[in-house]
Amino acid sequence: EAGVVQSPRYKIIEKKQPVAFWCNPISGHNTLYWYRQNLGQGPELLIRYENEEAVDDSQLPKDRFSAERLKGVDSTLKIQPAELGDSAVYLCASSLDGPLLTTDTQYFGPGTRLTVL
Amino acid sequence: DQQVKQNSPSLSVQEGRISILNCDYTNSMFDYFLWYKKYPAEGPTFLISISSIKDKNEDGRFTVFLNKSAKHLSLHIVPSQPGDSAVYFCAASEETSGSRLTFGEGTQLTVNP
């Protein structure tokens, strides 16, 4: 079974430029997460989708960050414009949630390492 | 406000010995705890979890202990193997669904042959 796929794996841009990351979750997983991981820190949740609905975006900096999950499958995370402090690894994860499940393991992709110069 | 803390950035042990990784939390509403392992250039991989109704969960060489009164959990790896060398993250959630995870900073474990 294919895991969570992310692209690109690495991205270098200059500040004030836009950037976008793409994620394809594990087939059948209805919940998708975007995390940001700064150097030496653990991942921090940016946004969580259940199908195509964003159910938790309280940590997403909405002035410059946006995300979408059209049709409840693939997702795109965008930053416009990027700032120096946005340099980090952006991780996508997915899980299979349902009314009978009490533990929903999140499966992570390899991440996109963003460097803003 | 760091609600989940791993105070040891690194740990080095000999192959065959026990590795003990520690994690403290401050949010008394957390009721589900997980450990993830991360190799370089890969995403975190789920390792083991424990619900707050238990104080121990074991899976092969990995055992997680939870002390709710101390708001402390630990991961024991016995025996440690060189392939266990990775960054280990502790994570916690307020819901048993595990949807919103709060991660610690991670501990780099090195197992020496």
B98: which chain A residues are within 8 Å (Cβ-Cβ)?
95, 103-106
- Residue A100 in this model has a pLDDT that exceeds 70: no
pLDDT at A70: 83
What is the pLDDT averaged over residues A40-67? 92
What is the pLDDT averaged over residues B86-102? 83
From B89, B108, B103, select the one nearest B3 (Cα to Cα). B103
pLDDT at B27: 92
Provide the pLDDT confidence category of residue A63 given band limits of 50, 70 and 90. Answer: very high
What is the pLDDT averaged over residues A70-93? 95
Interface test with A, best of B21, B31, B33, B46 (most A CBs within 10 A): B46
Provide the pLDDT confidence category of residue A2 given band limits of 50, 70 and 90. Answer: confident
Name the minimum distance, in Å, from the CA of B77 to any CA of chain A: 21
What is the pLDDT averaged over residues A85-89? 97
Name the minimum distance, in Å, from the CA of A4 to any CA of chain B: 9
Give the full edge-to-edge strand order of the sheet including B72-77.
B4-5, B19-25, B72-77, B62-67, B56-59
What whole-number percentage of chain B has pLDDT above 90?
Answer: 86
pLDDT at A49: 92
pLDDT at B65: 98
What is the pLDDT averaged over residues A57-76? 92
Provide the pLDDT confidence category of residue A105 given band limits of 50, 70 and 90. Answer: confident
Among chain B residues, the shortest Cα distance to A98 is held by: B97
**Smallest Cβ distance to A42: which of B42, B96, B105?**
B105
- Residue A101 in this model has a pLDDT that exceeds 60: no
- Of the CA atoms within 13 Å of residue A42, those in its CB half-sphere come to 24
Average pLDDT, chain B: 93
Interface test with B, best of A5, A26, A36, A106 (most B CBs within 10 A): A106
A94: which chain B residues are within 8 Å (Cβ-Cβ)?
none
- The neighbouring-strand residues paired with B87 are B38, B108
Provide the pLDDT confidence category of residue A72 given band limits of 50, 70 and 90. Answer: confident
- Residue B58 in this model has a pLDDT that exceeds 70: yes
Provide the pLDDT confidence category of residue A60 given band limits of 50, 70 and 90. Answer: very high
- Residue A99 in this model has a pLDDT that exceeds 60: no
What is the pLDDT averaged over residues A94-111? 76
Question: 3-state class of B29 per DSSP?
Answer: coil
CA-based torsion, A20, A26, A29, A34: positive or negative:
negative
- Give pLDDT tens digits for B7-34: 999 999 999 999 999 999 999 989 899 9
Using the beta-carbon criterion (under 8 Å), do B99 and A56 form an inter-chain contact? yes
